[in-house]
Amino acid sequence: MTRRALTTFAVTLVALTSWAWSWRDADVTSDLRVTSCSWFGEYYRRVAELGEDRTHWRVDTLPDRIGGWVDTKTDVVTISPATPCDLVHDVVTHEWAHLLQVAYYGDWDTAYAVGGATRLEREADCVSYLMGSHYTPYVGIPGGGVTCTPDELFWANELLKSHSDLIRR
């Protein structure tokens, strides 16, 4: 190898190594922001923002991959402590949307009869989306955006009418 080729190779290697280390450090920094999240801080703050009585909300273990659910007999909302901290706000909002559905339709049986479980979940995600949530697994598109239909958005807005001060676009 000539001296010029060796120098070019060395400069390229240093540049690539420097880029790789800066990328690694940036990645570590973004991870640190996530770990600084206060799970219970997010949980209690969001429940309070929604005007909910904390006695109707609890934190308890749920089956794998379920972030939250509403007991259809008691209307008590349970949020799993396994829910990642950065998703707590959105999961609480989604479960709250189910409470709006019951208030709107009168009871769980009527709400379910309107369109089944799929409609209830998609509608709750559309409510959550209208309120600023980024995690909407029933209607979300990888990379951002949602697939709420005009009909689903209409009903999500209907559910939110009595809570218009909470809608963030």
pLDDT at 110: 94
CB 120 within 8 A of CB 111: yes
43 closest CA partner among 16, 15, 6, 82:
82
pLDDT at 63: 93
Measured distance CA(156)–CA(146) in Å, rounded:
13
Cα dihedral 107, 66, 52, 124 sign: negative
pLDDT at 141: 85
Measured distance CA(46)–CA(15) in Å, rounded:
46
Which tokens is 116 given? 């089944």
pLDDT tens for the chain, residues 1 to 169:
554 443 333 333 233 223 222 223 333 333 433 458 999 999 999 999 998 989 999 999 999 889 999 998 999 999 999 999 999 999 999 999 999 998 888 899 999 998 899 999 999 999 999 999 999 999 988 777 889 999 999 999 999 987 765 554 4
Which tokens is 65 given? 């991959």
pLDDT at 79: 98
pLDDT at 145: 80
pLDDT at 166: 56
The secondary structure of 70-102 as a DSSP string is E-TTT--EEE-TTS-GGGHHHHHHHHHHHHHHH
